[in-house]
Structure 1
Amino acid sequence: MSLSISAPRRLDSPRRRKVLSVLAAAACARIGMPAMAQPAGKIIRIGTTFDASGVEKANGGGMFVGSSACFKALNKAGGIHGSTIELVQKDDQFKPDLAKANALAFEADPSILAILHPLGTRQVAEVSAAVPGMAVVGPNTGTVALRRKNSPNTFWTRANYDQEIERLVRQAASVGQTRIGLVHSNDPLGQSMLAGFKAAMEHLKVEPAVIATTPSTTSLEVEPAAKAIAAANPQIVIVGLAGTAAAFIGALRAAGGHSTIYGVSISAGSIFGMGPKAHGVGFALIVPSPFATRSAVARRYQADMAAAGSDAYSLAGMEGYIGASVLAEGLRRAGPGASRAALMAALERIEDYDLGGIRFTFGRAQREGTHFVDIGVIGPNGRLLT
């Protein structure tokens, strides 16, 4: 299975690999890990359920590579309070009922302390509700309705879709483009996109140029929506789709649509897979760029990926890495031999935690840890420009 959503970025030399490995060890020291490895034997097990074989396998696999790289670096530096971290992965095939079953299996295993980065709106809803006594950290969805539910076990490490779409609409308006359209799926994910889009357009005091739908998050029946967008010819079309974004963009171009395309963050994996055809496509970023070195968290991510033997940087990988870093900070604060309840309490106490380019604050009534949103554009060489 391919575990990246972008072309690999080659490392220059063995010397650079050595330098990055040194940086990886320094990253662990920065978040409070001991410099020397401690005797092995204790294990902290973390469950993770995501689509590893279906339409969202690029996002799921990418997150897993990123979180694995983070934990491998932590383990190499001595672990957390002398314990190593082990990721237990289950494939839910992007099926909500299977995601729930996987979560319940994790709950039934007393050795598994928390669940990391489940993927998908309905999947996350099922997982969070199924295991109220376990921390669910870094869910991969920005659906606002889920954040409004009373789910004290769920700790969000990404901005929500309203914030993403509002940022994209403001970017379009800043360059005088107010004929803006939207394509979204006709399901809970899509309804969240639609609500955010309408709110952003109302704030701008302009009417949407066109709104089109596809049948569902996984449906490849995208031609009717593409033809509707092409006929309306908006200046900007916001693609509120996930793994089917590339299919929609291809259908839009085939229908004669020449609108500038902005995607939401979950469309990135599909868009990167288009290769040269993605040139000029922009989308919301909910993490600092993993390809640049401006942010400290990106430098650590690259170092830990190198130490794990991978140079396939990706946005999904960075999201998984950041979610794992936040979970690791919660484990550190919870102390040795922490229970599930102690871990949730420790995560709740995280305040103004700076990962180097993105900050997190939780609290008793605060589970959305960050509101970071940036915009990137794919350049002519397939690289992300920010």
Structure 2
Amino acid sequence: MSVSESRSVLPSSPQRRSLLAAAGLSMLGAPWVARSQSSTLRIGATIADTGVERFNGQGLLYGAKAYFDALNRAGGIHGRQIELLKADDEFNAGKAKDNALKFAADASVLALIHPQGTRQTAEIMKAVRDLPIVGPNTGATALHKSGAKNVFWVRTNYDQEVERLVKLADNLGLKRFGLVYPNDPFGQSVLESFQAALARRKIEAVGIASTPGTASLEVDAAARQLAKLPVQVLIMSLAGTTPAFYQAYRAAGGVSMCYGLSVSGTAANLAQLAKGNDRPFFSVIVPSPNAQKFEIVRQYRRDMKAAGFESESLVSLEGYVDAYVLAEGLRRAGPRVDRDSLLAGLESLSNFDIGGVRLNFDKHVREGNSYTDTVTIDASGRLIS
């Protein structure tokens, strides 16, 4: 099926669902026909659908799809359905950039939602400047502060996340900190945030170790190194490899309290981490998926169930929130939405309540969220606020 043919498929049809489930680089390889208007509101997503980081990528996509599916069932936006186009970048920065450029070259694609990864987002931001980008899945502070006008940050930056974890430990009287991070742009960003948070308290780290990269499962050396040190609190700046490191650290005799970042909180990670006798704490940039005092969480849980997604996680809730923000920008852009009017719509989201969490964007502000909290998990992998 060609791309032009796919546009005529009704959003609720089995054929379309099959197409979206299978769509990836093969879809992007077909001829792309530029259109200023389409019968659907077309949104691109480049994510890791394969490899170690696939659980993060799929979680983001499932959350966004759950929201858009619910919106489409309710009639869409200004009478038009939202079409979510997926491209698998395999967590490769070059492929992520290529995917984004292909989306940007098609004038009927109005925005890119939550590109995944620090290096991937950096490459996309350099290459794509006229396509709105909503909710990149990275908290790299330098990227957040870059001033890119087409990028709207829905997650908080790593300075805020790490500060939350360090403050929690400091308030408990714990002063001997350690860090494990991947030796890549994601890890380097968190390392800087970690060092800054300790410096504000005049604390020196007891131990710092690195793994080869975000997707690398070579975690044993770092685990053994840190297990030998008198660390009280170990911050695991890892994503999909968090369970592998955590298990290796405990096997090597490491006894410190362990904290993880929000990108660690996939359903698959939580299920693995729940198997131990003790369990990590996590920083979060959205409420816990179990915190039903938040309207956004209640809505998310309903829509995930309706979409047929059984597992709930911090990552899929983040994807859901990204979709919520993007959809409101589309709504405010008006019936004849294009990329410019969408930018204006997103800029108008000042003091915007998404069901218990408020976001603030304007013509000059692109970091819309300041929400952070900490959670842990129970023996079943369920998050506890």
Which category of TM-score, normalised to the shorter sequence, fits these structures?
0.7 to 0.9
Aligned pair 1:344/2:343, yes or no?
Answer: yes
User: Which residue does the alignment assign to 1:379?
Assistant: 378
Unaligned runs of 5+ in 2: 1-37
Instruction: Give the letter for the 1:175 counterpart.
Output: L
Contact 1:51 1:60 in 2 (8 A): yes
In structure 2, the partner of 1:220 is: 217
Letter in 1 for 2:230: N
Partner of 2:166: 169
Aligned to 1:49: 46
What do residues 79-106 of structure 1 show as CA deviations (whole Å, max 9, x unaligned)? 1011100000000000011001101111
Q: Check conservation: 2:265, 2:313, Cα contact below 8 A.
A: no
Instruction: Kindly indicate whether the alpha-carbon contact (under 8 Å) linking 2:289 and 2:317 is maintained by their aligned counterparts in 1.
Output: yes
Whole-angstrom CA distance in 2 between matches of 1:200 and 1:161: 11
| Aligned residue in 1 for 2:239 | 242
Tell me the equivalent position of 1:151. Answer: 148
Q: Deviations over 1:281-327 (max 9, x none)?
A: 11111111112311100001011112223332111110000000000
Are residues 1:84 and 2:92 paired? Answer: no
Structure 2 letter corresponding to 1:272:
L
Q: Aligned partners of 1:380, 1:150: CA distance in 2, in Å? A: 43
* Structural mapping, 1:1-386, within 5 Å: 42-269=39-266, 271-278=269-276, 279-386=278-385
What is the alpha-carbon distance in structure 2 between the residues aligned to residue 312 and residue 181 of structure 1? 31
Given that 2:243 and 2:273 are in contact with CA atoms closer than 8 Å, whether structure 1 keeps it comes out as no
Structure 2 vs 1, CA of residues 275 and 231 (structure 1 numbering), >3 Å: closer, same or farther?
Answer: closer
Bigger shift: residues 149-158 or 275-284: 275-284
CA distance in 2, matches of 1:66, 1:187: 27
- Matched position secondary structure for 1:243: coil
Q: Distance in 2 between matches of 1:216 and 1:380?
A: 29
TM (norm. structure 1) is 0.87
Q: Which amino acid aligns with 1:339?
A: D
Cα deviation, residue 357, structure 1: 2.1
Structure 1 runs (4+) deviating above 3 angstroms are none
How far off its partner does 1:204 sit? Answer: 1.7
1:239 CA displacement:
0.3
CA deviations over 1:171-230 (Å, ceiling 9, x no partner): 001111111111111111111111100111111221111111112112222112111111
Output one character per residue of 1:16-66: Cα deviation in whole Å (capped at 9) or x when no partner.
xxxxxxxxxxxxxxxxxxxxxxxxx93100000000001111011011111
Q: Point out which structure has higher relative CO (alpha carbons under 8 A, 6+ apart).
A: 1
Maintained 8 Å contact 1:246/1:273: no
TM-score by length of 2: 0.87
Q: How far is 1:273 from its partner?
A: 4.0
Residue type of the alignment partner of 1:315? L
CA distance in 2, matches of 1:357, 1:192: 29
TM superposition shift of 1:275: 4.7
Query: Any gaps of 5 or more consecutive residues in structure 1?
Result: 1-40
- d(CA) in 1 for partners of 2:244, 2:233: 18
Secondary structure of the corresponding residue to residue 83 of structure 2 = strand
The answer to which of 274-283 and 354-363 deviates more is 274-283
CA RMSD of aligned residues (A): 1.3
- Give 3-state SS (helix, strand or coil) of 1:181's partner: strand
The percentage of aligned residue pairs carrying the same residue is 49
CA offsets, 1:316-353, max 9 Å, x none? 11000000000001001100121111101211121000
How far apart, in 1, do the equivalents of 2:89 and 2:140 lie? 19
Cα distance in structure 1, aligned partners of 2:200 and 2:128: 38
Distance apart, 1:380 and its partner CA: 2.3
8 Å CA contact 1:291–1:314 kept in 2: the answer is: no
Aligned residues: 346
Secondary structure of the residue that 2:304 maps to in structure 1?
Answer: helix
Distance (whole Å) between structure 1 residues aligned to residue 274 and residue 321 of structure 2: 28
